[in-house]
Structure 1
């Protein structure tokens, strides 16, 4: 089977594949890091950057070193687990 793509389609596919590969490399490099910056931790948990700031205002653990905020993956996971509640089934 053979596909014919115009230049724009080919460029779009190349850009998409390149973005997927870049994301995979970034995830692989952050996988072994126990502490991440706000953007990385937001991506790790699949939430917006602003959600991380909001969670921090609710008491989520944050390490501050020389004014730089770092977020521990395990600490935040434990913090989230401590806030879990059983779901209420609708009657």
Structure 2
């Protein structure tokens, strides 16, 4: 099977592939670091940066080194686990 692309389509595909590879490399290097900054840790847990700030105000562990805050993935995972509760199922019957 052969595809024929015009120059703009070829450029678009090359750009897309480049961006995908760049993001994959960034993700791979971020996931190997045990400590992340606020933006990285928010992305890692899939929450907003403001949520990280809020969690820190609730006692989530934060390492402060020379005024710079770093967040340990394992420490935060353990902190979140310590706050897990069984779900509260409500036995409401449809009306």
The answer to whether the superposition gives a TM-score over 0.5 is yes
Match of 1:71 in 2: 71
Match of 2:83 in 1: 83
1:58 & 1:30 partners in 2: Cα distance?
25
Under a length normalisation based on structure 1, what TM-score does the superposition of the two structures give? 0.81
Larger radius of gyration: 2
For this pair of structures, how many residues does the alignment match? Answer: 90
1:61 & 1:15 partners in 2: Cα distance?
40
| RMSD over equivalenced CA pairs, Å | 1.9
- Runs (5+) with no aligned partner, structure 2: none
- Runs (5+) with no aligned partner, structure 1: none
1:5 & 1:87 partners in 2: Cα distance?
53
Under a length normalisation based on structure 2, what TM-score does the superposition of the two structures give? 0.78
Structure 2 vs 1, CA of residues 63 and 5 (structure 1 numbering), >3 Å: closer, same or farther?
Answer: same
